[in-house]
A and B are shown apart, each in its own frame.
Chain A
Amino acid sequence: MTRILVVEDNPDLAYGLRNNLEIEGYQVEVEEDGTTGLERARTGGPDLVILDLMLPGLDGYRVLR
């Protein structure tokens, strides 16, 4: 199953994204800040990362880099 990592600090947005993506049949993981998001992206090996740009800790740009 395709795994998607959502890095989003707004819980409502994360909730909506997770619901929608799960309905589409993806396995969704959510991280709330850049640091743990980066950590999970490295270790978990998701197929797709949906990354918010304004994040507490590391922001999206720095996570990308």
Chain B
Amino acid sequence: MNTGFGRTRPRGVFIAMLMLLTLGLAGVIVLEAHRTFLVHRATAEGILQDYARLAANRFAQRTAMALYWDTFSPATYALARAAGTPGTPLPTPEHLATLDPRHVGFLKDAQYAFRFDLRTGALETAGRAPSRAVRQWLCDTLPVHRRTVYDPKERLAAIVRTVEGVPHAIVYTVVTDKGGAPRTILGLDGDPKGFESVYTMPEEKGPLLPRPLTGGVVYDSVGSAIVTDANGVELYRSPVQYTPTFAGRDSVEAMMGGMQVQVALRADLAPKLIIGGMPRSRLPWLLALLALSAGLIIAALLQLRREYELSRLRADFVSGVSHELRTPLAQIRMFSETLLLGRVRSGEERVRSLEIIDQEARRLTHLVENLLHFSRAERQVTRLSPAPTPLASLVSGVVEAFGPLAAARGVALRTELADDVMAPVDADALRQTLLNLLDNAVKYGPEGQTVTVGLAAGDGYARISVTDEGRGIPAADRDRIWQQFYRLERDRGSAVAGTGIGLSVVRELVALHGGRCWVEDGGSTNGAAGRGARFVIELPLLTASERASDPRPGEPAPTGAATGRSAGVPA
């Protein structure tokens, strides 16, 4: 047994190590997988940010183109034609609109036309006159803007700016003198809010993202836009706005007003834009797997520990059984040999020797019975034949038979038995049960104690108790002692030999009767060793089939009436 122990222990440690290693590896894999996911997601998000920036850039470019061709260029062209020559009167925007009805768009919203003389700094306006502050701003801004932004090849430039809380869209062209030197700035002041048609231009003219990327998503539903002027005042906001998770900014070229553009991509477009879709986190699954493997490993480790425990208990059991067999055998042999050799000095000694032989033989019988019950319980083949039995006589019979064994240890047996308690029991099984409890009480209790056997009825149950005056059972052990091979720590390896199966046989037999058993505080006050222990078994007064058919439980079964229908015997 010990060598087997020595062999299984390192193997168990090896298995435990392997499992912990597996768990560790699983943890590392989960970590790695999650890290890979994070990297993939960051890449995908980076790509989407780039796409958003690309969309903003395309939006800005398309706005600049549209403004140039459809709005600014025709307006400045008409203005230059009408007032380009020096000395010609400056037309109002309304007048210009009548001259060229094709380009009414911007002119309709224009407040006034202006002519700024670069040499004198004189500002002439026609239409609704601008405020003094706006005039001042125009005079300050135009020469600088012309120098820094205006491109003579393009022949026009625009300033979109908010002055005194009012947005202005100034578009101008520079008229040169014969020598090519800039002389006059001709321009119009319009409303930048009138550019909405430019921002909402159809997708076909300039999709926000190249079509191969979007896979043919129509119009500008790939993203939403917000346009602000250089001061940050909002000029346009697309009717649909997407949360700017993936958003890019760009600006319309300075010559075309330098408006700021922000484009937010539609979130559910992400899977279309990223090949294979957005990477999804597998973390919940991975964690579930990890938890599952951890659970399995814990279960396996517990099982392993239980196996060790069991093998240790079995080792204890075998040594306990051997010892319990050997002691009575040794006595039987010694006294029978003594008798055979005639080595007795008196008749009294002779009787005493025979008594001991008889008593030890009984003890052996009891032990073997226990082992048989135990092995039947292990194979689950125990068959009981319960018959209505007067319990008081059965109990007192057992106590009487146990008398000599108790007397050998100086233990007094006392009974408190209620009469007329009938219950369907298997007499042999109940006898074995009681003997086990009595044997324990005498074996583990102090010498000279009184063991009390009680019998009472009530509540549909007969209750038999065995109370000793020993040290009692610690509360923590009160459930475990009913398990196979379990013995109290204090009794292991002590002089009290035991097999660890007695109580498990008790529990098995009581359960087969449909009853239950437990141990409680003995409540003993005169026990020197402790408060004692009271082992209680509770047996139903009716058989299982009677309980099922009788609507009034708790009534004792009438004698004789139940003989034919006993539980455990299949009908």
Chain A residues at the B interface, C-beta cutoff of 8 Å: 9-13, 15-17, 19-20, 23, 54-56, 59
Starting from the known contacts A16-B356, A20-B338, A55-B495, 8 additional A-B residue pairs (CB-CB under 8 Å) come to A10-B331, A13-B330, A13-B331, A13-B334, A16-B353, A20-B343, A54-B323, A56-B496
Residue pair A59, B495 in contact (C-beta under 8 Å): yes
- A19 vs B337: C-alpha distance when bound (angstroms): 12
Residue pair A19, B331 in contact (C-beta under 8 Å): no
Residues on A with beta carbons closer than 8 Å to the beta carbon of B344: 19
Name 22 A/B residue pairs within 8 A (Cβ), A-sorted. A10-B327, A12-B335, A12-B356, A12-B360, A13-B327, A13-B331, A13-B334, A16-B331, A16-B334, A16-B335, A16-B338, A17-B334, A19-B344, A20-B334, A20-B338, A20-B343, A23-B343, A23-B345, A54-B323, A54-B495, A55-B495, A56-B496
Residues on B with beta carbons closer than 8 Å to the beta carbon of A20: 334, 338, 343
Task: Across the interface, name the chain B residue whose C-beta is closest to A54.
Answer: B495
Residue pair A19, B495 in contact (C-beta under 8 Å): no
In the complex, B88 has a CB within 8 A of chain A: no
A-contact 0/1 string along B305-339, CB 8 Å cutoff:
00000000000000000010001001100110010
Residues on A with beta carbons closer than 8 Å to the beta carbon of B335: 12, 16
Question: Please, how many residues of chain B have a CB less than 8 angstroms from a CB on the other chain?
Answer: 21
Residues on A with beta carbons closer than 8 Å to the beta carbon of B495: 9, 54-56, 59
- A59 vs B345: C-alpha distance when bound (angstroms): 32
CB distance from A56 to the nearest CB of B (A): 4
Residues on A with beta carbons closer than 8 Å to the beta carbon of B345: 19, 23
- A50 vs B323: C-alpha distance when bound (angstroms): 19
Q: Tell me the dominant secondary structure on chain B's binding face.
A: helix
Residues on A with beta carbons closer than 8 Å to the beta carbon of B343: 19-20, 23
- The list of the 5 closest CB pairs from A to B, nearest first, reads A56-B495, A16-B334, A12-B356, A54-B495, A23-B343
In the complex, B352 has a CB within 8 A of chain A: yes
Residues on B with beta carbons closer than 8 Å to the beta carbon of A54: 323, 494-495, 497
Residues on A with beta carbons closer than 8 Å to the beta carbon of B331: 10, 12-13, 16
Residues on B with beta carbons closer than 8 Å to the beta carbon of A19: 338, 343-345, 349
Task: Across the interface, name the chain B residue whose C-beta is closest to A10.
Answer: B327
Residues on B with beta carbons closer than 8 Å to the beta carbon of A56: 494-496
Residue pair A15, B323 in contact (C-beta under 8 Å): no
In the complex, B408 has a CB within 8 A of chain A: yes
Q: Tell me the dominant secondary structure on chain A's binding face.
A: helix
Residues on B with beta carbons closer than 8 Å to the beta carbon of A11: 408
Residues on A with beta carbons closer than 8 Å to the beta carbon of B327: 10, 13
Chain B residues at the A interface, C-beta cutoff of 8 Å: 323, 327, 330-331, 334-335, 338, 343-345, 349, 352-353, 356, 359-360, 408, 494-497
- A16 vs B356: C-alpha distance when bound (angstroms): 10
Task: Across the interface, name the chain A residue whose C-beta is closest to B496.
Answer: A56
- A55 vs B360: C-alpha distance when bound (angstroms): 19
Residue pair A15, B352 in contact (C-beta under 8 Å): yes
- A54 vs B327: C-alpha distance when bound (angstroms): 11
Task: Across the interface, name the chain B residue whose C-beta is closest to A55.
Answer: B495
Task: Across the interface, name the chain B residue whose C-beta is closest to A57.
Answer: B495
- A9 vs B495: C-alpha distance when bound (angstroms): 9
CB distance from B316 to the nearest CB of A (A): 14
- A53 vs B330: C-alpha distance when bound (angstroms): 14
- A55 vs B497: C-alpha distance when bound (angstroms): 10
- A23 vs B356: C-alpha distance when bound (angstroms): 19
CB distance from B538 to the nearest CB of A (A): 34
Residues on A with beta carbons closer than 8 Å to the beta carbon of B408: 11-12
Residue of A12, A15, A20, A23 most packed against chain B (CB within 10 A): A12
Residues on A with beta carbons closer than 8 Å to the beta carbon of B359: 12
Residues on B with beta carbons closer than 8 Å to the beta carbon of A10: 327, 331
- A10 vs B495: C-alpha distance when bound (angstroms): 10
Task: Across the interface, name the chain A residue whose C-beta is closest to B409.
Answer: A11
CB distance from B337 to the nearest CB of A (A): 9
Task: Across the interface, name the chain B residue whose C-beta is closest to A17.
Answer: B334
Residues on A with beta carbons closer than 8 Å to the beta carbon of B356: 12, 15-16
CB distance from A40 to the nearest CB of B (A): 18
Residues on B with beta carbons closer than 8 Å to the beta carbon of A23: 343, 345
Residues on B with beta carbons closer than 8 Å to the beta carbon of A9: 495
- A56 vs B447: C-alpha distance when bound (angstroms): 13
- A16 vs B334: C-alpha distance when bound (angstroms): 7
Residues on B with beta carbons closer than 8 Å to the beta carbon of A16: 331, 334-335, 338, 353, 356
Residues on A with beta carbons closer than 8 Å to the beta carbon of B353: 16
CB distance from B354 to the nearest CB of A (A): 12
Residue of B344, B359, B495 most packed against chain A (CB within 10 A): B495
Residues on A with beta carbons closer than 8 Å to the beta carbon of B338: 16, 19-20
Residues on A with beta carbons closer than 8 Å to the beta carbon of B360: 12
Residues on B with beta carbons closer than 8 Å to the beta carbon of A12: 331, 335, 356, 359-360, 408
CB distance from B483 to the nearest CB of A (A): 24
- A9 vs B330: C-alpha distance when bound (angstroms): 14
Task: Across the interface, name the chain B residue whose C-beta is closest to A34.
Answer: B495
CB distance from A2 to the nearest CB of B (A): 18
Task: Across the interface, name the chain A residue whose C-beta is closest to B355.
Answer: A12
- A35 vs B32: C-alpha distance when bound (angstroms): 66
CB distance from B160 to the nearest CB of A (A): 105
CB distance from B10 to the nearest CB of A (A): 28
CB distance from B349 to the nearest CB of A (A): 6
Residues on B with beta carbons closer than 8 Å to the beta carbon of A17: 334
